[in-house]
Structure 1
Amino acid sequence: MSPQIFELLVNATVETLYMVGLAALLGTLLGLPLGVLLATTGRGELLQNVAFNRIAGVIVNATRSTPFIILVVAIIPFTRLVAGTSIGTSAAIVPLTVAAIPFIARLIEGAIREVDRGLIEAAEAMGATPLQIIAKFLLPEALPGIVLGLTLAVVSLIGYSAMVGAVGGGGLGDLGIRYGYQRFLPEVMAAVVLVLIVLVQIVQSLGDLIARRVNKRAIGGR
């Protein structure tokens, strides 16, 4: 591999990390509270609001069921409104975030629903308010599952970021398409795939490690 190609690979990796990192952060900031609301506003739940729960659920399901590459094209006007352009690394963060929010929300909802109902009943018996139950009981108890869910979300975003390269989003996907496919350089394509695999392995291993440590603390604190 020539020094020029190696430099392009490094720059593309940095762009991918930038896209995925910022999209994961924004997706978590918006998806976490949405997931909590989805888990706690159903019928008979702590913050019961059936109308909100159903409407939010429909929107989340509709977004999640849309193939990512179609979502990227469908929200181009919104991407231009937010980023000022629909092409480039910064612009790619918009569809990545839009895709991440409902995905993370459902993962958070699932993690919270796995918490033993007896814990909620015990907290209610102690006079805790719904918000106190969520903040001091549900979220800490669900934290290992939340960490694993967020790890899965980041891994998925790495894959999505490669797809964004097909529409001028930059990063490793763009490098693989422009140099590996269009210029018939199989070694570039192989290098891109290898870097993506390494990134996924690092993220998954780190997520598993954090989840184990959080789970041990949760068990030790009981």
Structure 2
Amino acid sequence: MNALTSLLDDPVITQRVPEATLETLQMVGSSAALTFLLGLPLGLLLHTTSPGGLAPRRALNGVLGVVVNVGRSLPFIILAIAVLPFTRAVVGTTLGWEAAVVPLTLGAVPFFARLVETAVREVDPGKVEAARVMGSTRRTVVTQVLVREALPSLVSGATVTVIALVAYSAMAGAIGAGGLGFLAISYGYQRFETSVMVVCVVLIVVLVQLVQVVGDAVARRLDHR
């Protein structure tokens, strides 16, 4: 009881933690939306242009593969620092959660694109061939067969991506991005306020668990196999 009272009497926890939580949600939500918007077509293009795809383009597929692999191989903190000039050009600043959306999106798009490619690759080739025999266009096959059949896997991939973004957002706090990560570093680590660190960690864990539970529930509901 005394520990709880002590937490509630701490102005950092009662005032800054709610603000930091909102910043984390805004950061992750905005970057997740952009990641899905850019990563889905990129993943579909990777699959479509691959050998055996609907429109094989070896050169294009090779270039896209290299770009995606390079994007996935860079540690997030290095990526965030490397794109600071680009972030400033896009957002006008390198501080705050808005600025963090840029490197978060750049880091997550290649990751999600590979998950999309893997998900649509698992679709039964017989269903794709049947649609083509019936005269469906490539766009129709992609949207009505590949995406629809792979929807549960795509939702699972999106869930994994959002969880990764939560982790990335915490790391982004090291470069002044705001959110729970920044609060944990600036108060919990640099000012030795252990209670702030613990609260931030617990909130991040709770957020990840909520995303996982919701994502799993949606994926199961969409899976009619």
Confirm or deny that 1:56 pairs with 2:64: yes
Distance 1:166 1:125 in 2: 54
Confirm or deny that 1:97 pairs with 2:111: no
What is the one-letter code of the residue matched to 2:211?
V
Q: How does 1:17-56 map onto structure 2 within 5 Å? A: 17-56=25-64
Distance 1:63 1:125 in 2: 37
Alignment size in residue pairs: 217
| Structure 1: gaps (5+ residues) | none
Give the 3-state SS of the residue equivalent to 2:172 in structure 1: helix
Confirm or deny that 1:214 pairs with 2:222: yes
Distance 1:17 1:202 in 2: 12
Among residues 45, 66, 84, which one is paired with 1:76 in the alignment?
A: 84
TM-score normalized by structure 2?
0.94
Confirm or deny that 1:161 pairs with 2:169: yes
| Structure 1 residue 44: Cα displacement | 2.7
| Structure 1 residue 7: Cα displacement | 1.5
Distance 1:107 1:13 in 2: 28
Distance 2:191 2:181 in 1: 14
- After superposition, the C-alpha distances for 1:7-62 in whole angstroms (9 at most, x for unaligned) are 21110000000000000000110000000000111123102211111101100100
Distance 2:31 2:132 in 1: 36
Partner residue, 1:149:
157
| Structure 1 residue 3: Cα displacement | 4.8
Distance 1:127 1:26 in 2: 33
| Structure 1 residue 71: Cα displacement | 0.2
Structure 1 residues 184 and 3 mapped into 2: Cα distance closer, same or farther (>3 Å)? closer
What is the one-letter code of the residue matched to 1:99?
G
Confirm or deny that 1:14 pairs with 2:22: yes
| Structure 1 residue 73: Cα displacement | 0.5
Partner residue, 1:202:
210
What is the one-letter code of the residue matched to 1:46?
L
Moved over 3 A (4+): none
- After superposition, the C-alpha distances for 1:157-187 in whole angstroms (9 at most, x for unaligned) are 0000000000101000000011101111101
